[in-house]
Amino acid sequence: MTSSNELAAAIRDFFADHLPRLRGMSPHTLQSYRDSFKLFLRFLSMEMKRNVTVLNLDDLTPEHLIRFLQHLEDTRKNTTATRNVRLAAIHSFFRYLATRHPERLEHCQQILAIPFKRARNRTVEYLEYDEIEAVLAIVDRKSSDGERDYVLLVTMFNTGARVQEIVDLRPCDLQLQRPFHVRLLGKGRKERICALWPETAQIVKAFLSERQIPADNLEPLFRNHCGRPLTRFGVRYILAKYCCRAKTKKPTLTTKRLHPHSMRHYVPFRTMSSSCTTAQVFPVNA
């Protein structure tokens, strides 16, 4: 039987060298892959009633993987998309393993033959102009957290940034003098420049000044009440909180399944009537 050290060495080299150095994977992708393997190895440990430390390559069979994927959907209640993300991480490992251990090529091919599951695409919900207005109006800007939440939501509405782009946003990424813009680091380490409306730039500039945050600061801009950077889950909570509160004034929000990605699908301001201005939506001194 294959030594358990073979599995340990393969996983170590996969995460320590292959993914970051040869593939150039981002830290967020590495974390996602690590989460997938932690779940898979824990499942194998429970299935086989053996400690994780004594598992070996022979234990990573197609049968075990199929049961693991079913466990994700049935027990953990993961969506098909999440199931496919976990499978993609394991596929990547076995493609790497096939080059490291060519004698295991058949084993790797069997794992790689396990297909991704087709998922039903949900309709993407989005926010209308008056719904954005209602969400922003409900924020209590007199409190420290409320002011942070307002600046966070305004920035997301303006840029249509992904949630990870927002939590990674640093003051040094902001250009708050004309031409106003922000540099966002997206998927695959791709950078893009997004224009800021003058009202947004003024709001963010006032936020930095009030909190005495240097414009060249390299740390994430948005932080929780403990001073640590906000997480994706923190942003999701903030959006859900204000959308829930705004339902009393805007009942249409009740029927919508909203999340941070919804910010990328709102009705753009350029399609609104000429009587609507960004200053009306984002009052600087409200």
| Percentage of residues in the chain having pLDDT higher than 90 | 66
pLDDT classification of 38: cutoffs 50, 70, 90:
very high
Encoding tokens for residue 256? 């919508």
Encoding tokens for residue 27? 């830290």
Cβ neighbours, 10 Å, residue 24: 10
Alpha carbons 260 and 137: distance in angstroms, whole number: 18
Sheet strand arrangement including 191-195:
174-175, 181-185, 191-195
What is the widest separation between alpha-carbon atoms in the chain?
75
Taking 70 as the threshold, does the pLDDT of residue 58 lie above it?
yes
Sign, CA torsion 151/148/137/125: positive
Choose the catalytic residue: 86, 162, 247, 250: 162
Decide: residue 214, CB within 10 A, 0-12 exposed, 13-18 middle, 19+ buried: exposed
Alpha carbons 264 and 126: distance in angstroms, whole number: 8
Which of 166, 80, 137, 151 minimizes the C-alpha distance to 253? Answer: 137
Taking 70 as the threshold, does the pLDDT of residue 64 lie above it?
yes
71 noted as active-site residue: no
21 noted as active-site residue: no
In DSSP terms, 195 is beta-bridged to: 181
Q: Are the beta carbons of 158 and 175 closer than 8 angstroms?
A: no
162-179 pLDDT, tens per residue?
A: 888 999 999 999 999 999
Alpha carbons 143 and 130: distance in angstroms, whole number: 24
Give 120's DSSP letter.
P
Residue with tokens 């996983």: 11
In the prediction, which pLDDT does 250 show?
87
Choose the catalytic residue: 42, 95, 187, 192: 187
More confident residue, 257 or 195: 195
Domain ranges of the chain: 4-112, 129-281
Taking 60 as the threshold, does the pLDDT of residue 70 lie above it?
yes
Domain covering 129-281 assigned CATH 1.10.443.10 in the classification: yes
At residue 182's C-alpha, the angle toward residues 218 and 235, to 5°, is 75
Give 19's DSSP letter.
I
83 noted as active-site residue: no
C-alpha 10, offset from chain centre: 28
2-36 pLDDT, tens per residue?
A: 444 789 999 999 999 999 999 988 888 899 999 99
Taking 60 as the threshold, does the pLDDT of residue 260 lie above it?
no
264 noted as active-site residue: yes
Give pTM, 2 decimals: 0.66
Alpha carbons 62 and 268: distance in angstroms, whole number: 47
For residue 216, give Cα distances in angstroms to 1, 181, 183, 257: 56, 15, 13, 37
